[in-house]
Amino acid sequence: MNYPNGQKKVISKKASSGRANKSFSNRGMSLEDDINTTNQFYLDVNRAIIHKKPTPVQIVNVDYPRRSAAVIKEAYFKQASTTDYNGIYRGKYVDFEAKETKNKTLFPLANIHEHQINHMRSIVEHGGICFILLRFAALDETYYMQAEKLFPYWHDKLNGGRKSIPYESITQDGFHIPLQYQARVDYLSIIDKLYF
């Protein structure tokens, strides 16, 4: 199979034998894989430049049996990460987090950290486009939620309120993103509606 970006995918008979019962959108790809595929498509067609942020790591111990086979034995995160992705689209800075849950009825706010919320607030205050992509894996549904819509739920949690966002609220406050072939999670179409 040839993909639009020129890469080839070889499908073995063993891998394809049980696939007839699976839908196109449920082939084991995680939200992160789908976003990475989408971002590569955006880059290939020169629509946007969005990349996954590298996690800063301090390497402590490396085993060098030979130069070409160095193995990191011990490493630590240098600092807490902010959000997963950032880049530029139509002259605007874009920054977002991606989260996946197996829960069908709510999204647990424990999956988000305070330093991430603080970072998202800073992006919004400086005029950037900031959001979260939420995937309900069991439902095979992905939603775009603006950071500004997320903040009240976080505030309620800090003040003793709910520690989750109900699925119904996400469907009301967010935007459903149907899975597609090339731009698997086409979040830029939502940004176009909201900002352009």
Place of tokens 């590298």: 54
Which amino acid, one-letter code, is at 163? Answer: K
State the Cα–Cα distance between residues 46 and 131, nearest whole angstrom.
22
State the Cα–Cα distance between residues 144 and 174, nearest whole angstrom.
5
Q: Is 116 annotated as a binding residue?
A: yes
Q: Say if CB 148 and CB 132 are below 8 A apart.
A: no
Angle (CA) 146 41 18, round 5°: 95
Q: Taking the CA atoms of the chain, what radius of gyration do you get in angstroms?
A: 19
Q: Is 84 annotated as a binding residue?
A: yes
**What is the residue-wise DSSP string for 14-40?**
HHHTTGGGS-TT-SS--HHHHHHHHHH
Q: Say if CB 159 and CB 99 are below 8 A apart.
A: no
- Strand, coil or helix: what is 59? strand
Q: Is 146 annotated as a binding residue?
A: no
Q: Say if CB 167 and CB 136 are below 8 A apart.
A: yes
Q: Which helix (H) or strand (E) holds 4?
A: none
Q: Is 100 annotated as a binding residue?
A: no
Q: Which residues are annotated as a binding site for Mg(2+)?
A: 82, 84, 97, 116
Q: Which residues are annotated as a binding site?
A: 82, 84, 97, 116
